Amino acid sequence: MARTAFITGATSGIGEAALRTFARAGWNVIGTGRRSDRLHALRQEIGAQMHGCVFDVRDEAGRDAALAALPPAFGEIDLLINNAGLALGTNSADQSDVDQWKTMIDTNVTALVSLTHRLLPGLIGRRGAIINLSSVAGSYPYGGGNVYCGTKAFVTQFSLALRSDLHGKGVRVTSIEPGMVETEFTLVRTGGNDASSSALYQGANPMTGQDIANTLLWVAQLPPHLNINRLELMPVSQSFAGFQVART
Ligand code: NDP
Ligand code: 8X3
């Protein structure tokens, strides 16, 4: 019987590529997002193997209504991919908008833990798996990253701590930590600034949503006795820079 993956943030970027990739590999896929037109188009493309759920991940009532309405063929979730997330702004902390900070925390942290908690009993029952989209931003701080970096550090550590709590229960948990992936991420982060999004990726040969989707599928289809705890990926063009020193 086909396994079922629940993929949040499937209307764009990594999640959208994952939806197609898992469906092609024979999984039943549930894709979520706020943009119903995109989910509708994906359903048309992928067919009966896909079910779309339109809700804002921060809206628990909307999420639970969507879960309660899952068709029977999609009711038993084997894999949760917590992918929906965003960065807002690149200003230094003192110049940042606190409402943007709260939106990142509500989306990347609160909604992620709430959905995980909601699906955990079923995942334990089915000896399923959870893959969380963290980021290199969770390990390497950078100027203007402030709360986004903080949310991703949370996602990584939450993933590792979940592994401890799930000890002996046969549930796999993985933190995926990509560097630069060309998606709508920078468009969202800059409030729709096409030019600055294109400039960031220009000539960088960044990773693609498909690169990450292939990795997600590989992790998900490993033999059940094998757990990837965390996995960091970067394009070859991206690497590390040094510390900064403010001199008087
Ligand atoms: P995109 O902006 O292309 O996709 C983000 C997805 O998240 C969309 O499908 C969007 O759907 C969904 N989403 C965002 N907010 C909400 C919300 N409140 N409710 C429901 N869905 C929401 O970005 P990526 O594909 O790049 O990002 C996916 C994940 O990967 C994120 O967690 C991001 O932090 C992480 N990541 C990205 C990297 C990159 O360089 N791109 C690198 C490392 C990690 P909709 O708008 O329709 O609701
Ligand atoms: C996205 C990667 O470096 O823009 O998480 O924060 S980065």
With the most atoms of ligand 1 within 8 angstroms of its CB, the residue from 7, 35, 133 to mutate is 133
The residues carrying an active-site annotation are: 148
Spacing, Cα 168 to ligand 1 middle (Å): 32
The Cα–Cα gap between 207 and 184 comes to 13
Torsion angle of alpha carbons 154, 208, 80, 187, nearest 10°? Answer: 60
> Ligand 2: residues whose CB is within 6 Å?
135-137, 145, 179
Closest CA to 205 of 173, 232, 236, 168: 236
Q: What is the dihedral of CA 87, 142, 180, 164, to 10 degrees?
A: -80
Q: Which residue has the tokens 């993933």?
A: 159
For the chain, 248 residues long, give each residue's pLDDT as a single digit of tens. Answer: 899 999 999 999 999 999 999 999 999 999 999 999 999 999 999 999 999 999 999 999 999 999 999 999 999 999 999 999 999 999 999 999 999 999 999 999 999 999 999 999 999 999 999 999 999 999 999 999 999 999 999 999 999 999 999 999 999 999 999 999 999 999 999 999 999 999 999 999 999 999 999 999 999 999 999 999 999 999 999 999 989 999 99
The Cα–Cα gap between 144 and 230 comes to 24
Fold of 4-233: Rossmann fold (3.40.50)
- Whether this model's ipTM surpasses 0.95 comes out as yes
pTM over 0.90: yes
With a Cβ cut-off of 6 Å, ligand 1 is lined by 9-15, 33-35, 56-58, 83-86, 107, 133, 135, 178, 180-181, 183-185, 188, 209
Following CA atoms 87, 109, 243, 95 in sequence, which dihedral angle do they give, to the nearest 10 degrees?
50
pLDDT of 1 reads: 83
Q: What's the pLDDT score for residue 242?
A: 85
CB distance 55 to 71 below 8 Å: no
What's the gap in Å between 247 CA and the centre of ligand 1? 38
Ligand 1 mean position, distance from CA 50 (Å)? 19
Atom of ligand 1 nearest to the CA of 57: 19
For ligand 2, the distance from its centroid to the CA atom of residue 186, given in whole angstroms, is 9
Contact 11, 55 (CB under 8 A): no
Residue to mutate (ligand 1; options 12, 149, 200; most atoms within 8 A of CB): 12
